[in-house]
Chains A and B, each alone.
Chain A
Amino acid sequence: MLSIKDLFVEVEGMEILKGINLVVKPGEIHAIMGPNGSGKSTLANVLAGKEEYTVTHGEVTYLGEDLLDMAPEERAQKGLFLSFQYPVEIPGVPMVNFLKTAVNEHRRSRGEKELTAGEFLKFMRTKMEMVDMHAQLTNRSVNEGFSGGEKKKNEIFQMALLEPRLAILDETDSGLDIDALKTVAHGVNALRNSGNATIVVTHYQRLLDYIVPDHVHVLYGGKIVKSAGKELAFELEEKGYDWIKKENGE
């Protein structure tokens, strides 16, 4: 589904990613962990197509196509979803308009009929239940004045609406209370099937109790320095990153 080969990325002349290799197959869940500033969000943003990140070397194939060649909206329409670490507020734009436009742009790209307002509202309600999203939030402007946790929930709500092939969740668990964490994890699991895949970026093992990864990677200094099964997350929780740093010559 996704194959990253020897990826180097710069931001404002600074090299952040220094040779990432990663293969994600349909049905898999990958967790990416690593200290602050190691490049996790950078990787997520590059995959989603954020402009200010320059790929200086390497290639990324997504569903058999060159991902780096696609416009961000095209990547999204082809099923790549990013749950933002810091979701953006768009004052004055009602959630419902935004979501309906997003869903219909996806449908249009697949040659499907666009949903009418009525059809969309019905569809939206089923998804609201799924992630326990309140109407008080969907009646407001996109993320405007949402609490940190509400913003994260809103990301998963959008994921539920867009039903992506590859979801990248960038610290979706940060800021969620315990109940919300469970609801969000439940949502992610409910959306899982053998055809899609998830990359979870997190600092805490806790989330991985609910969303159980097939692979855990440690991103450090712009490289994936360690990959293993879910037990690696426990080890990191227990020992921190010092031993990883030492192994990598610090």
Chain B
Amino acid sequence: MTDQDKILSEVTQGDYKYGFFSDIETEIIDRGLNEAVIRTISEKKDEPDFMLEFRLDAFRRWQKMKMPDWAYLKIPPIDFQGISYYAAPKKKPELRSLDEVDPELLETFNKLGIPLEEQKHLAGVAVDAVLDSVSVKTTFKEVLAEQGIVFCSFSDAVREHPDLVRKYLGQAVPVADNFFAALNSAVFSDGSFCYIPRGVRCPMELSTYFRINSANTGQFERTLIVADDDSYVSYLEGCTAPMRDENQLHAAVVEIIALNRAEVKYSTVQNWYPGDKNGRGGIYNFVTKRGICRGESSKISWTQVETGSAITWKYPSCILIGNHSVGEFNSVAVTNNHQQADTGSKMIHIGKNTKSTIVSKGISAGKSNNSYRGLVKVMPGAENSRNFSQCDSLLLNDTCGAHTFPYIEVGNKSSIVEHEATTSKIGEDQIFYCNQRGIDTEKAISMIVNGYAKEVLNKLPMEFAVEAQKLLQISLEGSVG
């Protein structure tokens, strides 16, 4: 058993392995949302005026907006006044060394297999750890700084690199883009910021690990990644939350901006608490992720493995402005028990000779519902553009559902858009074949599902691919029969 496995088995609670709660002294502001709350958040974070303006603008617009209802999801009413919009570990102030970090907090991340001590960490991965509303530690910050790379919490970025933040914030996801993005823009508390300077290939994987800990709070983090000309970065995101009977709201925004010939790979393993077998509890995950390929020949790829959350509403997108720019979306979404997912991608072709690929693999079990929703839009000026989309659904039983909603708009004659979709049920014959070789049904399904998802899993960085495979297995435990 590896250390990580040991840690995991120690904290095992039911099927969800990360469901523990840490008793960390936390400052939580009163529930409710109004301008005063937003001013409080901004004040607590000691923000410059432009940030407060950004938030207030977003809030005012959000107040006039309605929650979207077009997704294939049953969303119970959410009481936005019943949520606390800011929770932070108390012992946070100015960490000079790790010794000053609350030991309980270190332990929390250790239990999650994310040691914050750099020497213990997986070689080659820098981590920004976010607990509830704030970033508690960013590793390898100094090493990266030597190459001019900025990798820090969003709050630090606002203080230390206000010009960069001001220039790029809201470029990919404007404040009033949608209901949840507007809410996030108003109240977001922290997240990660990353800037890769011109010509720099980031020497290690950058990653943010999000953890919700407190009850009755929402998590609204914001990530902004800017890759300057001819740069490259691979970015990972992971997340977990304690098991609770009530639902918790998570509404994040991720923005990526890729300049000339820059490449950004963004990978997510989403493992928020999915609720129990009867559909009680779980995270409502409403996320806006969008990348702009601003520069020519730039490339943004989204790879996601979605196994968690009670409800997932998420469409990582690429806006391909630069000529010859490339967008990619690779997704495995697993739903079990009563989980609901409505997820997919948008590819907007604006520049000439732009290319995009969408590979979506949905896996449904239990009584869950799993939908793919995708938009491929080729603008009239985007001559000679290409898109290929493949959406496969795998059903593990007769009680779950899979749906596909592809939208295609092609504005010129020189572009080619292809869409393929398949739905299959896991084969009894395949399972029996495995059984006959001594492999039990649970293992057989996990093997078949991993095989089915392999094309996407292969796109993940190595460390993550292994974790993702294990996750698929855990999420589908008890899904047979």
Which partner residue on chain B sits nearest A49 by CB separation? B435
Given A51-B428, A84-B433, A105-B443, residue A73 in contact with residue B450 (CB < 8 A)? no
Total residue contacts A-B, CB cutoff 8 A: 78
Cβ A82 vs Cβ B428 within 8 A: no
Q: Which of A52, A91, A93, A94 has the most B CB atoms < 10 Å from its CB?
A: A93
- Asked if A92 is an interface residue, CB under 8 A from chain B, the answer is yes
Q: Are A72 and B432 in contact, CB atoms less than 8 angstroms apart?
A: yes
Given A72-B432, A90-B430, A90-B433, decide whether A77 and B451 contact each other with a Cβ distance below 8 A: no
A39-55: CB near B (< 8 Å → 1, else 0) gives 00000000011111000
Among B436, B439, B441, B443, the most chain A Cβ lie within 10 Å of the Cβ of B436
- Least Cβ–Cβ distance between A71 and chain B, in angstroms: 7
Q: How far is the CA of A71 from the CA of B443 in the complex (A)?
A: 14
Q: Hey, which chain A residues are within 8 Å of B441, CB to CB?
A: 73
B54 contacts the other chain (Cβ, under 8 Å)? no
Interface string of B404-446 (1 = CB under 8 A from A): 0000000000000000000000011110111111111101000
Whether B447 lies near A101 (C-beta < 8 A) is: yes
A14, B40: Cα distance in complex, Å: 75
Compute how far the CA of A105 lies from the CA of B442 in the bound complex, rounded to whole angstroms: 13
Contacting residues, chain B, for A84 (C-beta < 8 A)? 433, 436
Would you call B166 an interface residue if the criterion is a C-beta within 8 Å of the partner chain's C-beta atoms? no
Across the interface, B438 reaches (CB within 8 A) one of A89, A90, A102, namely: A102
A88 CA to B438 CA in the complex, in Å?
15
Asked if A73 and B455 make an inter-chain contact with CB atoms under 8 angstroms apart, the answer reads no
Contacts of A101 in B (CB 8 A): 437, 439, 443, 447
User: Contacts of A76 on B, CB cut-off 8 Å?
Assistant: 435-438
Give the secondary structure class of B's interface. helix
B452 touches A92 (CB 8 A): yes
Secondary structure at chain A's binding surface: helix, strand, loop or mixed?
mixed
Residue of A51, A88, A109 touching B433 (CB-CB under 8 A): A88
Find out whether the CB atom of A90 lies under 8 angstroms from the CB atom of B451: yes
Q: Are A141 and B451 in contact (CB under 8 A)?
A: yes
Q: Does A243 sit at the interface, judged by CB under 8 A?
A: no
Instruction: Give min CB distance, B163 to chain A, whole Å.
Output: 47
Interface size band for B: 20 to 34
Contact of A72 among B436, B452, B455 (CB under 8 A): B436
Alpha-carbon gap, A92 to B452, bound state (A): 6
Interface: B448 (CB within 8 A): yes
* A158 on interface, CB distance cutoff 8 Å: yes
The B126-177 residues at the A interface (CB cut-off 8 A) are none
Query: Is B90 positioned at the interface, with any CB of A under 8 Å from its CB?
Result: no
Is residue B454 within 8 Å, beta carbon to beta carbon, of the partner chain? yes
Closest to B447 in A: A93
A98 to B443, CA, bound (A): 11
Task: List the B side residues contacting A109 at CB < 8 Å.
Answer: 438
Residue of B nearest to A101 (CB): B439
Minimum CB distance partner of A80 in chain B: B436
Q: Is the CB of A92 within 8 A of B451?
A: yes
Cβ distance B441 to chain A, nearest Cβ, rounded Å: 8
- Are B447 and A73 in touch, CB under 8 angstroms? no
Chain B residues in 8 Å Cβ range of A51: 428, 432
Q: Which residues of A contact B432 (CB under 8 A)?
A: 48, 50-51, 72, 88
Which of A50, A51, A73, A102: most chain B CB closer than 10 A?
A73
The answer to whether B435 and A88 touch across the interface, beta carbons within 8 angstroms, is no
B441 and chain A: residue at smallest CB distance: A73
1/0 per position for A67-110, CB-CB distance to B under 8 A? 00001110011000110100111111110011001100110010
CB distance from A160 to the nearest CB of B (A): 13
Does any Cβ of B come within 8 Å of A162's Cβ? yes
Given known contacts A77-B438, A93-B450, is B429 in contact with A88 (CB within 8 Å)? yes
Q: For residue B455, which residues in chain A have a CB less than 8 angstroms away from its CB?
A: 92
Query: Please, which residues of chain B bring their CB within 8 A of the CB of A102?
Result: 434, 437-439
Q: Given A92-B455, A141-B451, 11 other A-B contacts at CB below 8 A?
A: A50-B432, A72-B432, A72-B435, A73-B436, A88-B432, A88-B433, A90-B434, A92-B448, A98-B434, A98-B437, A101-B439
- B residues sitting closer than 8 Å to A (CB atoms) are 427-430, 432-441, 443, 447-448, 450-455
The 3 closest A-B pairs by CB, nearest first: A92-B451, A93-B451, A72-B435
